Amino acid sequence: METREMVNIDGIMVPIEGERNLLELIRKADIELPTFCYHSHLSTFGACRLCICEIEGMGMQTTCTIKPAPGMVVRTNTNEVRQIRKVNLELLLANHDISCPSCARSNNCKLQDLARRLGVTKVRFKKTVKEAPIDNHSWSLIHDPNKCVLCGDCVRVCKEMQSVGAIDFVNRGARTIVGPAFSKSLKDVECVYCGQCVSVCPVGALVPKPETEEVWKAIHNPEKYVVAQLAPAVRVALGEGFGMEPGAVSTGQIVAALKRMGFDQVYDTSFAADLTVFEEATEFIQRKLNNERLPQFTSCCPSWVKFAEQYYPELLPNLSSCKSPQQMFGSVAREVLPKLLNIKPENLVVVSIMPCTAKKFEAKREEFIHDGLADVDHVLTTEGLGRMIHETGLNFAKLKPESFDQPLGFKTGAGVLFGGTGGVTEAVLRFAYEKITGETLIESEIKQTRSLEGIRTLEMKLGSLDLRLGIAHTLSNARLICDRVLAGKEQYDLIEVMACPGGCIAGGGQPVSFDPDVRQKRIQGIYNVDKQMQLRKSQDNPYVKELYATTLGEIGGHKAHELLHTHYGGRKRITDQVINIRNTNEPQIEVYVCVGTNCYMRGAQDLLKKLSKYVTENKLSDIVGFEGQEDMVDVKATFCFERCERGPVMRVNGTILEHATFEKAKALLDSEIQRIGAQMNKVKV
């Protein structure tokens, strides 16, 4: 390699080979510079100022924002560089609520790690007093702005990876914080609870909301029978908290730990994933043969479902009506376990152990609560279960493996594949191949589905059917593929969407890791589990077949639909947000017009203007019948009635009008004015 293609890093000549920035080149030289705000999959930000180096002729520079150039001379460890890094870290510490012993991220905090690594033993700067309120209203996440170091990682991952933008920088200067719009809770904005903000947060400003105490309470209640279901991706990640390598499979130890902790039965969510394949693949084949509601989107990921409800309500009929495996398991457990175990239904407690923070939100959805009983009572994240095991003092690595309980603990390799991107598609294809062709699938692996590329398109032929399949992970890629479908630029038969990069293996409830290779290691662990299974196709699961024979009836039949299917509707992105147009004092009539995206596209803005003009310029006393009632009507803009596909939508007092035109709106308003006027006339008389 010629010298002009080299960079001198601390006296070592390092070749430039397509690195995007100087930081990557320095890391190639086996120098791990400290960083807070750098993630290879996000835009460079340069906020933390910790990756600074001295570049000859350029002075101090953040290496994440500088492209390497031939002939550069870089010094990473001069006295001045070291002192500046320490000062920058002290400033971050002064702006941070240091409650380390009780912090959920105490054992995996970048701030702690770098303070030790850089030798910062004293903070010389006056502590910033913020005392901002902690947001713990969401079912899935806790946001503590007092611990935030303003690195911006969560802001960028929400915008760039998920295209949601539920959080951003608020205020300016010393008053700057990170949070949702309008000072709202994450519960009340367009947050989809994917938890990727948790995955990139270097401190404890964003963490999964724990449910450990509720689970302990159930375990210690002698009247309760507590069962657990274990998601596929948990088994390839939990061990990381006990010194194991990412991707190491610890299923047997997890089952053993759960039983030692007091769970009465331990089952496998992969059983319900096999069940999902039966229903979803059958639904897909029927849609394809009838050429209706295509493409069919998968519905396993609750973050994706909420994203679709908020941004693409017109595509909701295309979502599979199947519940997610978590909710299918809960529904089936509620149906069969009380009889099987001879317990009262109200004494059965179903606990999910999931890699996903959005599963907490999903379990609390009203669609999945019947007669006061939720299909799933509590959801523990992988990280949350790890803390519970540490609390008990169990030596996880030395536990003798135990097996799942039956019948809901038996699964095939296809069910385990749900833990990674492309896995649902592969599992469905294993089923569909035999169903459509009538032939036995010998080689189960369909490697075209296996990739960490953001959007993949597969074309294949099954029997006489030509199939075009799409696979997307991260919601920014989901947005791209949805826009292409709606614009008629792409045609698919089936589209799998997972919100997290790589799928559930990188869910927001998994152990936080800043290793860029961790996703590949975890998903390889999923593939290894599938490969070791004797049965690798969902249709070969004997206990699922038995469940249909004894409880569900035929696939897609009445009972199966009752227990395994659901429906979704448009959802508002921001709750309780109103824009006053007239600011009338004590109005008798309030007119609300939705100006959300879908209603806006259907003419809501024009409707709002015409109504405001009508109310302002016309003499309402003529309608009422007496003078002095010009301010009886107030007009307001709001953000959703959750009827996005029927916009524009408006409300006049208690009456909602769908597909509103100005003529319809005026007629409804005049009618309400006359009704209120008649009441006022009676009072006046």
DSSP per-residue string spanning 306-358: HHHHHH-GGGGGGB--BPPHHHHHHHHHHHHHHHHHT--GGGEEEEEEES-SH
What is the CATH code of the structural domain delimited by 91-208?
A: 3.30.70.20
637: part of which helix (H) or strand (E)?
strand 633-638
The answer to whether the beta carbons of residues 574 and 184 sit under 8 Å apart is yes
Rounded Cα gap, residues 216 and 165, in angstroms: 35
| Consecutive H or E run containing 74 | strand 73-75
Nearest residue to 207 via CA among 220, 218, 197: 197
Where does 578-684 sit in CATH, by number?
A: 3.40.30.10
Contacts of 465 (CB under 8 A, 6+ apart): 288, 289, 436
User: For residues 444 and 426, what is the distance between their CA atoms, to the nearest angstrom?
Assistant: 9
Residues 546-571, mean pLDDT to the nearest whole number: 91
582 pLDDT band, cuts 50/70/90, is low
Kindly report, residue by residue over 325-379, the tens digit of the pLDDT. 999 999 999 999 999 999 999 999 999 999 999 999 999 999 999 988 999 999 9
Domain boundaries, the chain: 3-77, 91-208, 212-564, 578-684
- Number of Cβ within 10 Å of residue 598's Cβ equals 22
pLDDT at 681 over 70: no
pLDDT at 577: 61
CB 466 within 8 A of CB 459: yes
What is d(CA 210, CA 212) in angstroms, rounded to the nearest whole number? 6
Assess contact for 341 and 284: CB atoms under 8 A: no
At residue 129, the pLDDT reads 64
Lowest-confidence segment of 91-100, 165-174, 205-214, 572-581 by average pLDDT: 572-581
361 versus 613: the higher-pLDDT residue is: 361
Q: Residue 315, Cβ neighbours under 10 Å: how many?
A: 18
**Residue tagged 């340069």 (tokens):** 46
CB 420 within 8 A of CB 530: no
Assess whether pLDDT exceeds 70 at residue 544. yes
- Is the pLDDT assigned to residue 211 strictly greater than 50? yes
CATH 3.40.50.1780, applies to 212-564: yes
Under DSSP, the state recorded for 247 is T
Question: Which amino acid, 29?
Answer: A
Q: Which contacts (CB < 8 Å, 24+ apart) does range 606-611 have?
A: 606/662, 607/648, 607/650, 607/660, 607/661, 607/662, 607/665, 608/581, 608/635, 608/637, 610/662, 610/665, 611/635, 611/650, 611/662, 611/665, 611/666, 611/669
Question: Left if phi > 0, otherwise alpha if psi is -120 to 50, otherwise beta: which for 18?
Answer: left
Pull the structure tokens for residue 60: 């101090």
The helix/strand/coil state of 467 is: strand
Paired residues of 459 in beta bridges = 468
Is the per-residue pLDDT at 380 higher than 70? yes
Helix (H, G, I), strand (E, B) or coil at 385: helix
Tokens standing for residue 50 = 């910790």
Average predicted confidence (pLDDT) for the chain: 87
What is the distance between the alpha carbons of residues 664 and 39, in angstroms, rounded to a whole number? Answer: 53
Catalytic residues: 280, 283, 300, 320, 359, 362, 367, 504
Alpha helices in 58-192 (DSSP H): 79-94, 110-117, 153-156
Q: What is the mean pLDDT of the segment spanning 309-322?
A: 92
Q: Does 3.10.20.740 match the CATH number of domain 3-77? A: yes
Q: If you search the block for the tokens 């017109």, which residue do you land on? A: 314
Cα–Cα distance measured from residue 468 to residue 458, given in angstroms and rounded to the nearest whole number: 6
| pLDDT for 537 | 93
Distance CA 459, CA 602 (A): 36
Highest mean pLDDT among 34-48, 251-265, 634-648: 251-265
Alpha carbon distance 681, 676 (integer Å): 9
Cα–Cα dist 50/114, whole Å = 10
DSSP β-ladder status, 650-652 and 589-594: antiparallel
Question: In which residue are the tokens 């309402």 written?
Answer: 620
The residue to which tokens 């600011």 are assigned: 583
DSSP helix/strand/coil, 37: coil
The dihedral sign for the CA sequence 25, 27, 30, 33: positive
Predicted confidence band at 673 (pLDDT cuts at 50, 70, 90)? confident
CA atoms within 13 A on the CB side of 254: 31
**Residue 87, token pair as written in the block:** 């000062």
pTM greater than 0.85 (yes/no): no
Task: Work out the average pLDDT over 231-236.
Answer: 96
Instruction: State the Cα–Cα distance between residues 211 and 229, nearest whole angstrom.
Output: 15
User: Would you say residue 275 has pLDDT above 70?
Assistant: yes
Q: How far is CA 564 from CA 283, 292, 337, in A?
A: 12, 21, 16
What tokens appear for 129 in the block? 């007093």
DSSP E strand stretches across 502-588: 578-580
Same CATH fold, 212-564 and 3-77?
no
Distance CA 445, CA 447 (A): 6
